[in-house]
Each structure stands twice: as structure tokens, then as C-alpha cells.
Structure 1
Amino acid sequence: MPANTSPADLYHHSLQLLLDKDIPAWVGLWAEDGILEFPFAPQGWPERLEGKEAIAAYMRHYPDHIDLYDFPDVRIHRTTEPETIVVEMRGVGRMVETDGPFDMSYIAVVAVQDGRFTSYRDYWNPLAVQEPGADFTGSTR
């Protein structure tokens, strides 16, 4: 993506890459020193991933665990900082291992610089992983 890509456009593009299951291209949207945080991560799950390599390792097997179909209800809110957005959305699909439904609501605070994600705080619902068999990436638990 060009360096002047807006945070909202970059974010929408990232969602399409997840739907396409193109994890290498999704990771390619990150700055080398990007930080991905999960403030509500349950015990034993990562709270902070530092650097593109750590993010790539975390996401590598994502499509093996979650088959995403859609991101309905994406709402992007601009902030007083032009490089930062707040996103409200839902991800829907199925859990590959159990063939059960996947339906997760998210709020994310995302910062972008030079057309790359530099910071992404993902406020997802940790109660969803307490269901039997729930495993969203398989690579970090």
C-alpha cells in the first residue's frame, strides 16, 4: 500500500486480506517494529507481540483455526490524531476444528505511519475462548 494510504483504507484492505486468507500479505501491512496488543488476553495467551516477525508467527496458522466469512458492521472512527483510528466490528465464520460458528465482536485502536500498522490494540472478548475447544490461532496458547 502506498505510504499515503489512509488508516481507514489500510484497515479495510487488511480485512479483505484476512477474508482471502492471505496472511503473508496481511503481515506485510505491518511496520518492522509494529506492536500488536491484546489487553484482555486470558492467562496463558500473549498480551503483547513486538515486531513483524512475532506478529507473523502468531498469525501464521490463523486460517487453519478460523475460517472467516465476513466482517459485518465495520465502523471506523477517526480521532484527533490523523494516524489513529478506533474500529468497531464483528468477525463471523466457523471454527475449523469443530465446524462450530465463530462470531466475535472487536474494538481496536489502530495507529498507522507511512502506510503500515505501527500499533494495534485488539480489545476482543476473552470469555469466548473459555468455551470447550476454542482456540483462535493455535500458535500461542
Structure 2
Amino acid sequence: MRLLLDKDIPAWLDLWAEDGVMEFPFAPSGRPGRLEGRAAVAAYMRDYPDHIDLHDFPEVRIHETTDPGTIVVEMRGVGRWVKRGGPFDMTYIAVVSVRDGRFSSYRDYWNPLAVDEPGTDFTRSSTR
């Protein structure tokens, strides 16, 4: 979370296994539902700071599971939308698994309706 707040996407990507998988079970049509491999996650996250200026995670609850390599995280991220300048406030639930100290699986449950507005597609750079 600290790396995302610092907008240090390269360091955040270093936390990923080469074959790590990021999934978005509630992804709407036209948005990726599954990213396979660190390179795919990198391509997806590359322009994230150009779209969301994340300021804080004021609410974080971590739940251990019966699998010592997996946790469930409830979190709330707040900040602002870069293009439209309005507030960003999103609640997430993530199921995160690690292998050899790196993310091997990250299932991100978020509300796609909250970002389903013009100018909020952070999978496309504002500079392209």
C-alpha cells in the first residue's frame, strides 16, 4: 500500500512473481478480468498514477485464512481523480496469495460502477 501511495509502481511490480495473476471478478465488459504474468500487470498499472492520485488507505482490515500464504484484505482507498479533479473513494476486498515472498495471485473485488464514467479508464494513458 505504501508503494501505491508513493506512486512507485516499479517497486510495487517488484513484489510480483513472474507468473503472478491479477484478477478482477467484477470487471465489466471491455475491461480486463484477468492479467497473467508480471508483464501484463505492469502494462495495466503503468499509467495508474496518471489517473488516480491515491492519498491514503484510512481503513484496512487484514484477515488470515487457513492457508498461511493467503490473506483477505478489506481496504478503503481515498484520493482524487487526476483528469476530472473530483474525489476518489473506493472500498476494495482483495484476496492475496504469496509464494516465495512475491504476489502469486491477487483477486481485486472493487465496484466497477464507481469508475464507469468518461475519463476514468486508467488502463489508457492520458498522454497517448
- TM-score w.r.t. the length of structure 2 is 0.94
Partner residue, 2:60: 74
CA apart distance, 1:133: 3.0
* RMSD of aligned residue pairs (Cα, Å): 1.0
Return the structure number with greater strand share.
2
Q: May I ask how many residue pairs the two structures share in their alignment?
A: 125
Does structure 1 residue 65 correspond to structure 2 residue 54?
Answer: no
Runs of 5+ consecutive residues of structure 1 not aligned to the other structure: 1-14
| Secondary structure in structure 2 of the residue aligned to 1:136 | coil
Please identify runs of 4+ aligned residues in structure 1 that moved more than 3 A.
none
Does structure 1 residue 123 correspond to structure 2 residue 98?
Answer: no
CA apart distance, 1:68: 0.4
The one-letter code matched in structure 1 to 2:72 is V
Report the identity percentage.
77
Partner residue, 1:111: 97
**Distance in 1 separating the partners of 2:66 and 2:122:** 33
Contact 1:66 1:102 (C-alpha < 8 Å) held by counterparts: yes
Q: Please, which of 47, 51, 55 is the counterpart of residue 41 of structure 2?
A: 55
Runs of 5+ consecutive residues of structure 2 not aligned to the other structure: none
CA apart distance, 1:53: 0.4
Return the structure number with greater helix share.
1
The one-letter code matched in structure 2 to 1:77 is H
- TM-score w.r.t. the length of structure 1 is 0.85
CA displacement 1:85-123 (0-9 Å, x = unmatched): 000000100000011110000001000111100000000
CA apart distance, 1:28: 0.4
The one-letter code matched in structure 1 to 2:58 is P
